[in-house]
Amino acid sequence: MKVDSNLKNVLTKDNFAVTAECGPPKGADPGIIQKKGDILKGYTDSVNVTDNQTGVVRLSSMAACAILRQGGLDPVLQMVTRDRNRIALQSDILGASALGIRNILCLSGDHQSFGNQQQAKGVFDIDSVQLIQTVRRMRDEGRIIGGEALWQTPSPIPSTTGSPA
């Protein structure tokens, strides 16, 4: 599915992009995300949706992004490698593309010891740099990590953050 990204359009024109962060609720009420989206609409170029921030169980980033997209916003899907192996990550990349979610922020994620599931095991099958490479390979080459060709190529726009030491 080829969907335009407002964030990409703003950045391509060398404009300053205004983004906001939206933390999904600790529950399944879509109305909470809709209300947050209504507040942000008209003020941001894109909305960055966290993925179980601080290791706390919340509504999935993918679901929240789909809700915001239905409300006319351009979401950025956060994907953390802490909770998913390469199979799940690649599946989520395809799922995001099928839902028209173009922007993907690739992160390692906060350590689970900070959250409400401290006994959870971190997955870290691949790291955030490898996740960016995976997103690009799927988009540019139409192939998954193991080399197998996809039936249809997704069109994500990968990004990441840095933390200077």
Domains of the chain in sequence order: 6-159 (3.20.20.220)
Contact 105, 159 (CB under 8 A): yes
Q: Is 126 left (phi over 0), alpha (psi -120 to 50) or beta?
A: beta
pTM (two decimals):
0.93
The tens digit of pLDDT for each residue in 75-108 reads 999 999 999 999 999 999 999 999 999 999 999 9
**pLDDT-based confidence at residue 162 (cuts at 50, 70, 90):** confident
Tell me whether strands 103-107 and 19-22 are parallel, antiparallel or unpaired.
unpaired
Query: Over the chain, what is the mean pLDDT?
Result: 95
Residue 165 has pLDDT above 70, yes or no: no
Quick one: tokens of 93?
Answer: 């990349």
